[in-house]
Amino acid sequence: MSIKILIPIPLRPYTGEQSGAKLTGWTVVGALSNLVTQHPDLRRHLFAEEGKLRSFVNVYRNDDDVRYLAKEATPVKNAETITIVPSLAGGVSACACPTALQSNRM
């Protein structure tokens, strides 16, 4: 059985710049565990210390968000795709951008 896992750009430095991997696993967490076995530096970005998938890591089986399926225990079949989508935070506060403050006053 072969499952394709897509690696997002922010996590590629921990996978030797690979954009994807073909692995085995009967569940989402099984496939991701196999991935971090091959790329140990990736583990801390996907899993918390207690071994659960981090809350800010979104995982999709094909087009379905696993949070609305069986979460980490979601089964995967041959030739399915798992996509990892880490939540990103950021932006610029109005205080950090004086021109934004000026334009908001008008």
- The domain ranges of the chain are 3-105
Distance CA 103, CA 20 (A): 43
Q: Are 21 and 35 spatial neighbours (Cβ–Cβ below 8 Å)?
A: yes
3-105 placed in CATH 3.10.20.30? yes
User: Would you say residue 76 has pLDDT above 70?
Assistant: yes
Backbone angles phi, psi at 40, to 5 degrees: -55, -30
User: Would you say residue 50 has pLDDT above 60?
Assistant: yes
- Reported confidence tier of residue 100, pLDDT bands at 50, 70, 90: very low
- Reported confidence tier of residue 92, pLDDT bands at 50, 70, 90: low
